Structure 1
């Protein structure tokens, strides 16, 4: 019998008494009522420059006018192929304001994939970040008959294509100003006619398991999420969010951009993922949306730097971390027993010293003002989460999918329960099917896949969406995610192994970057392992190994010996059939550019398994005999 839970809240925060139909209504209300306050920030001539709501609104207005001059009508599809930047937001909000449907396309996609999405979505126009993205469109042998124009966000087009009109961003704004001068009523009329049940966007799944499917999300889906998160998180107009995740992903677009509009807070666009550490110090955010890989790399970087410090400083940090860990465990025990924190009675003075000398200095590297740190898109390592909690930066983990307009469930700063993804958000119902699959129903659930009736019928039944994830609901109504249903390994002995559970054990290890567990229909489990360049350099320096060739270093006997020790340690709590018996260390890390990771840094299991199948299969003898190069088995 299916297990089910629905979240009802008596939270101190009440949802806003709103009459807004869409996020577009909220945006233009912000422009009218907060006109002189900062809306976004971005780097100009080396410094972060604020753009006030009045300027923000005017740019969107001119962009929308430009789209009207190009005869865009409600319901037509407009693709955006760009890294996250202010232009992305302006193009998105302008498209929605004229009643068009936005189609985000990751700029990291190869030309054939990008061309497929443009064709499949029936796009009439594409916003291209630069010449590189424009060439992906120009090089297509087949374009949809619907395609009429392309807008280049950076610079002037160097080449044109007779199959469609090509404009620069500035040209679009100029056309918009002329169009608005000719007809000042057209845009307000389009905004007024928008309905909550109108299609807002088609978001294509990132394709970790196959051909992308276009999830159709309504304006009402987006508003349902914004209203639910307003109740749960309590963001406000004085908050500042640093945006660095791709806006092509529903997590950042709705959980970052749309919620920021809804709450009226400021969004600062990071220069790039590589510049995030520097940008955090510059803008000092209070809110941060991240993915586990971001927090894991930050944790690993801190651990590497600590190992390079003089011994006395290392001892000080270890003392502080041990004290903080003990205090954290006392705190959690006190919560369960409903007693006063023993921390306040015994450890308060020592914790004050630890905070002043160690924790506060680490927090300053993140800007020093963070109060809400969110992790989504994949499971977060318990060790990494505990580290940040000890130093006073609580990471709240949530769970959602493209088809659910992101959050299904989430922890909150006030009620954070590591190991779970929290309770379902207000209005969303979750139940566990007999086979363990998570099923979801609510106002944020998509209406189907674009031009894919078969996939829609497979995913939706009586309003319930089949997530494809395996999970459980604990006694307090909180959701735990175990693995992807399709990823479950069934060994030749019939044992079920959850690969993500095993892989998550390795997160936070300074030497290991990624691990992929393998073994379907095999007698035992094996793995591919990639190493962290920073961790590898530190290990090499500690053991006096040459660092001039990192690829060669990955295969050094001492490095393999260290990895074997890590694997053996991680194997200990596992059942015998779950343990990694053999592994292969690759010479290079998985990357987005090599199509091994999604844009949110999740491992593309199917792609990697196919790419390295011969290598993985080499771990198995004809009779699957366990010999050499593996990890010794211990009794359990």
Structure 2
């Protein structure tokens, strides 16, 4: 057993709650822009004083409409300014926010709103409202639905005209640090989502220590962050609250398809994302360079960036010749890549899955350091992250200051700290199973090095055991294979089988480029090229790269290219893009069987 901890850098208030942050900002920085709001295609600043006024006005409407202290209020929307506004308004009314993914099905909405006992729900669009209305007869406690696109904010302001500021202040002060702030339903890869109760204390401990440890990235009046992750996900919530806590300017990007334009216009100094975003930026840039006949230059530039980053970890640093090459490629290539990310950002924080050693060094080498972290809904997002000044690429960093990470005898990662959830809503048996002797059992496997840097090696419950008795952690090889530009998703199979196989889906953005380069029409479908020798060879190269990270017994020996995608809509991934392995295994049982029907295996 091994454990590591760091002293807390932030003291959680003895009382009070998250609404104190917006009142403090308005008092101390009234004219500082704490939000960037896009109106008619242009960004407009929202000052701390103006934001507080808007929050109070919306909170008055909730109070006037009958929302009581401790009531649960659903919030279903894409990432947008109103999400943050209404989140703080719900807290200011003394209530508890229950986020709902905007892609949720009627059945999921019914479960979340029904299990939480939500008395009201704020939705974004007519489609969302219609979906909630379709299950309203099964939600006896649900009294009000407001739609953002149908003047929800204006309607709340009008409804609350008779409520005084003093009444809102009284409501805002009712919750203390240990009161529930939100119930976040874990998307879950199996079974019903569990309602994870996170207190105001959880967010204070989480965001306060992150902001203090990364203080150079959270400079009031200078720093900014563009939030494009779903705020219904706890990682997006962390970004929102940390920005308000700092405070720094927070922008919202509701449509990731417009992300490049939003980054260029908002020009954040800090970017938060998941590895797939950074993989796509790299793959798209490389594919564009190849299409322009500059593929060799790009690849050489990438190699120099990686070599330069690796040299930064050596005592002697980069050699003189390497510095010269780096300077040339910085002008030709790296500066253009940084411009794609807005031009001002020097750092990003990445979570959700490993970024990979090569990409980690590539980004640091181009002057855009990606700090990897690790966490779960139950740990209020990040429970470990790389510090800005002591990054170890390939790890997910050191524990959140004020918390403890322990590696159990069986390799499971255990957590302790104020940032942890308090319970699963209405589920004492699950709470008891997850929280034992003051430690949260994550279900993840990991290691700690001598400096307390954590590496995640797999999922305890996802370990495959081959017919030969070999234990295989799928995440290690899947992440490597998925990093290839041509691969969208990869799921390793082989539990109880003679060898490891994989189901592979093709990237919808990259496939047309590959097709044109290899004599196929750009609109070719995966099924039309699934047996193409050149495509199979390309996928095999991705498989070979993944196999290089594991032993021969753990390596993928055969794969199948699927004609479809693993998406949230298809039910094969969660909203946070984690594979629902049981669903994939059930829906593609025939394809899995086909892997093992033929006696021929690769390697």
- One fold, TM greater than 0.5? yes
Q: Does the alignment pair 1:3 with 2:18?
A: no
**Residue matched to 1:317:** 298
**Counterpart-to-counterpart distance in 2, 1:321 and 1:502:** 23
Is there any run of 5+ residues in structure 2 with no aligned partner, and where? none
Q: After superposition, where does 1:458-497 map in structure 2 within 5 Å?
A: 458-497=433-472
Question: Structure 2 residue aligned with 1:220, among 197, 201, 207?
Answer: 201
Question: Structure 2 residue aligned with 1:54, among 25, 49, 57?
Answer: 49
Q: Does the alignment pair 1:302 with 2:277?
A: no
Q: Does the alignment pair 1:123 with 2:118?
A: yes
Cα deviations by residue, 1:36-72 (Å, 9 ceiling, x for unpaired): 2212112211212222222211211111000110121
For the 8 Å contact 1:245–1:600, the answer to whether it is kept is: no
Q: TM-score, normalised by structure 1?
A: 0.91
Q: Does the alignment pair 1:265 with 2:238?
A: no
SS, match of residue 544 in structure 1: coil
Question: Structure 1 residue aligned with 2:17, among 9, 17, 22?
Answer: 22
Cα deviations by residue, 1:277-297 (Å, 9 ceiling, x for unpaired): 111111111011101111111
- Tell me the number of residue pairs that the alignment of Structure 1 and Structure 2 aligns: 599
**Counterpart-to-counterpart distance in 2, 1:573 and 1:293:** 19
**Counterpart-to-counterpart distance in 2, 1:478 and 1:566:** 28
For the 8 Å contact 1:76–1:100, the answer to whether it is kept is: yes
**Residue matched to 1:292:** 275
What is the CA-CA distance between 1:16 and the residue it aligns to?
7.8
What is the CA-CA distance between 1:465 and the residue it aligns to?
0.4
For the 8 Å contact 2:506–2:526, the answer to whether it is kept is: no
SS, match of residue 533 in structure 1: coil
**Counterpart-to-counterpart distance in 2, 1:532 and 1:565:** 15
Q: Does the alignment pair 1:570 with 2:546?
A: yes
What is the CA-CA distance between 1:124 and the residue it aligns to?
0.5
**Residue matched to 2:537:** 561
Cα deviations by residue, 1:379-420 (Å, 9 ceiling, x for unpaired): 222222222122111100001111111111110221111111
What is the CA-CA distance between 1:352 and the residue it aligns to?
1.8
SS, match of residue 385 in structure 1: helix
SS, match of residue 504 in structure 1: helix
For the 8 Å contact 2:81–2:251, the answer to whether it is kept is: no
**Residue matched to 2:519:** 544
**Counterpart-to-counterpart distance in 2, 1:93 and 1:141:** 25
**Counterpart-to-counterpart distance in 1, 2:143 and 2:563:** 45
**Counterpart-to-counterpart distance in 2, 1:20 and 1:48:** 36
**Residue matched to 1:600:** 576
Q: Does the alignment pair 1:378 with 2:353?
A: yes
For the 8 Å contact 2:572–2:580, the answer to whether it is kept is: yes
**Counterpart-to-counterpart distance in 2, 1:219 and 1:23:** 6
For the 8 Å contact 2:58–2:157, the answer to whether it is kept is: yes
Aligned residues: CA RMSD: 1.9
**Residue matched to 1:337:** none
Question: Structure 2 residue aligned with 1:349, among 318, 324, 328?
Answer: 324
**Residue matched to 2:585:** 609
For the 8 Å contact 1:226–1:259, the answer to whether it is kept is: yes
Question: Structure 2 residue aligned with 1:68, among 63, 73, 83?
Answer: 63
For the 8 Å contact 2:189–2:574, the answer to whether it is kept is: yes
**Counterpart-to-counterpart distance in 1, 2:11 and 2:7:** 16
Question: Structure 2 residue aligned with 1:171, among 135, 152, 155?
Answer: 155
**Counterpart-to-counterpart distance in 2, 1:73 and 1:123:** 11
**Counterpart-to-counterpart distance in 1, 2:549 and 2:331:** 36
Q: TM-score, normalised by structure 2?
A: 0.95
**Counterpart-to-counterpart distance in 1, 2:537 and 2:323:** 42
SS, match of residue 349 in structure 1: helix
Q: 1:271 to 1:217 in 2, by over 3 A?
A: closer
What is the CA-CA distance between 1:572 and the residue it aligns to?
4.3
Q: 1:626 to 1:476 in 2, by over 3 A?
A: farther
